[in-house]
């Protein structure tokens, strides 16, 4: 099956998570992604949190599937020469080095554009160009703090909290992928490449859009009616942390199910969607709430929403999270069990859809990874193993016209 990005050649100058997540996605969809790594060491994640001695860590294998690996010392003149050749025949270069690293290497945007005016140069940085923090190196949690996620996550009586979801890393990579595909479509029209830049702060903030909505509502009316602080608590002049409250105007909370005393994940998320109130009352065996003025409207319920949640918890006490959801789904009530990584890894539906995939690897045996979360009617992205360090060096160099002797010479000077 021909994949939509077949024929697009990408120099993958990325490391850790933000950049690799982007290029992995493009590789799934058919792009020829050549990961350029420092000889001897490669992407730092190959060695990070190893669970098998001498085998690439899962951190690396789960972010670099479907790619080729070329080792190249791009600070040596011989390495620069190879990179220049590669640049001349590639469509995209993606990088997420620290600020200024590519310039210091001698590959500024101007130089890259001169070498290949059709090439798209895509970068991830912590902060956008010209930002007063644009000299900072940034990792995931730093970005979550800088982008507004940390100050709005967690409970009001606790500190700012980091989400386990990679809002700073993989999320930024997904934004970059959208930028690259847009620039490729633009190039079809203009014939010109361009620079695509995404900052981790901006990408986090983009996902915190509704919190900026809440800041403006707070400034106008002084309170936020869907937050647990309303109506009994106090609001300051900044959006507070709302615990597990729903963010979209539908009150919701994480509720205890049977076994919560010993199982930290025996919970469901329960949403009280306005128009689902009648089915909720019927499901809970509380038909008297339907017409009761103290319960009838969202406004009437809000002052005692936690008392309502307590009643629902009493109903849940003899039901597991799965049993509860099986009952509630029949009433069209938006809810889900709180799933653990173990449950997700073994979920038959996720296996069948290709969202959880088992990938054979030369050194590790097989490992689980998250496959494409994007599904197509005409294509099923296949996930293949991440490359060993330098696995494709000879193949890529031969493709650039280097002879066996040339490759030997490059090895002699440790350029590859
Ligand atoms: N050959 C020779 N040199 C190479 C090379 C190669 N193949 N690949 C990288 N290098 C060099 C770079 O040129 C750079 O050299 P100088 O600093 O001397 O110019 C050096 O390796 C280190 O690059 P770095 O600054 O990117 O690496 P770091 O480990 O110090 O920082 C990180 C890591 C992630 C904090 C930083 O890259 C960064 O801020 N990136 C942008 C934001 C980002 O993507 N963060 C998300 C990471 S995922 O959590």
Q: Is residue 26 part of a domain?
A: yes
Number of domains in the chain: 2
Residues 153 and 23 in one domain: yes
Q: Are residues 85 and 148 both part of a single domain?
A: yes
Judged on CB neighbours under 10 Å (0-12, 13-18, 19+), 328 is buried
Strands (E), 193-341: 195-199, 252-256, 267-271, 335-337
CATH of the domain at 148: 3.40.50.10540
For residues 67 and 61, give the distance between their C-alpha atoms in angstroms, rounded to a whole number.
Answer: 10
C-alpha 98 – ligand 1 centre gap (Å): 5
In-domain check, residue 171: yes
Let me know if residue 233 belongs to a domain: no
Which atom belonging to ligand 1 lies closest to the Cα atom of 14? 44
Q: 171 C-alpha to center of ligand 1: Å?
A: 19
From the alpha carbon of 75, which atom of ligand 1 is closest? 2
Which of 333, 364, 394 is the last residue before a domain boundary? 333
Same domain for 82 and 135, yes or no, is: yes
Instruction: Tell me the binding residues for CoA.
Output: 15-18, 38, 72-75, 96-98, 104, 137-140
Ligand 1 centroid to residue 19 C-alpha, Å? 11
Options 12, 169, 202, 214, the catalytic residue: 169
Q: Which residues are annotated as a binding site?
A: 15-18, 38, 72-75, 96-98, 104, 137-140, 248-250
Query: What range does the domain containing 409 cover?
Result: 9-206+346-413
Tell me if residue 271 falls in helix, strand or coil.
Answer: strand
Nearest one of 180, 163, 160, 169 to 119, comparing CA atoms? 180
Residue 226, SS3 per DSSP: coil
Distance 84 CA to ligand 1 centre (A): 19
71 and 13 Cβ atoms separated by less than 8 Å: no
Q: Is 169 a catalytic residue?
A: yes
Do residues 167 and 299 both lie within one domain?
A: no
Q: What is the model's pLDDT at position 1?
A: 63
User: What are the mean pLDDT values of the chain's consecutive 10-residue runs (416 residues total)?
Assistant: 93 98 98 98 97 97 98 98 98 98 97 98 98 97 98 97 98 98 98 98 98 97 93 95 86 97 98 91 96 94 94 98 97 96 98 98 96 96 97 98 98 98
Please report, in range form, the residues annotated as the binding site for substrate. 248-250
Ligand 1 pocket: which of 137, 169, 175, 416 to mutate (most atoms within 8 A of CB): 137
Supply the pLDDT for residue 146: 98
Give the number of other Cβ atoms within 10 Å of residue 262's Cβ: 6
What pLDDT score was predicted for residue 148? 98
Q: Is 105 in the pocket of ligand 1 (CB under 6 A)?
A: yes
Let me know if residue 54 belongs to a domain.
yes
């Amino acid at each position: 099956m021909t994949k939509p990005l077949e024929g697009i050649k990408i120099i993958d100058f990325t490391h850790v998570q933000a950049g690799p997540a982007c290029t992995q996605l493009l590789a799934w969809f058919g792009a020829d992604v050549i990961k350029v790594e420092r000889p001897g060491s490669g992407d730092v994640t190959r060695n990070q949190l190893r669970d098998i001695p001498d085998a690439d860590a899962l951190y690396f294998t789960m972010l670099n599937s479907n790619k080729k690996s070329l080792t190249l010392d791009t600070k040596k003149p011989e390495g620069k020469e190879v990179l220049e050749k590669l640049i001349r025949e590639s469509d995209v270069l993606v990088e997420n080095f620290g600020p200024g690293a590519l310039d210091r290497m001698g590959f500024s945007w101007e130089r890259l554009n001169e070498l290949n005016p059709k090439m798209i140069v895509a970068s991830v940085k912590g902060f956008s160009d010209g930002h007063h923090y644009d000299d900072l190196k940034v990792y995931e949690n730093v970005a979550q703090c800088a982008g507004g996620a940390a100050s709005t996550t967690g409970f009001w009586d606790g500190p700012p909290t980091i989400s386990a979801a990679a809002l700073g890393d993989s999320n930024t990579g997904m934004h970059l992928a959208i930028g690259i595909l847009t620039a490729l479509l633009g190039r079809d029209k203009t014939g010109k490449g361009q620079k695509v830049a995404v900052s981790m702060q901006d990408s986090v903030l983009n996902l915190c859009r509704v919190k900026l909505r809440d800041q403006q509502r707070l400034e106008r009316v002084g309170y936020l009616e869907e937050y647990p602080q309303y109506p009994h608590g106090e609001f300051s002049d900044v959006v507070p942390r709302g615990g597990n409250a729903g963010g979209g105007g539908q009150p919701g909370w994480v509720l205890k199910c049977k076994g919560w005393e010993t199982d930290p994940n025996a919970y469901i998320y329960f949403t009280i969607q306005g128009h689902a109130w009648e089915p909720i009352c019927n499901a809970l065996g509380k038909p008297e709430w339907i017409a009761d003025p103290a319960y009838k409207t969202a406004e009437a319920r809000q002052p005692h929403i936690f008392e309502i949640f307590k009643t629902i918890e009493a109903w849940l006490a003899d039901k597991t999270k799965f049993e509860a959801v099986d009952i509630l789904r029949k009433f069209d009530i938006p809810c889900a069990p709180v799933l653990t990584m173990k449950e997700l890894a073994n979920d038959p539906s996720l296996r069948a859809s290709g969202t959880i995939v088992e990938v054979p690897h030369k050194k590790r045996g097989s490992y689980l990874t998250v496959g494409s979360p994007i599904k197509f009617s005409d294509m099923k992205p296949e996930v293949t193993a991440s490359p060993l360090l330098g696995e494709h060096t000879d193949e890529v160099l031969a493709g650039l016209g280097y002879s066996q002797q040339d490759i030997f010479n490059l090895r002699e000077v440790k350029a590859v």
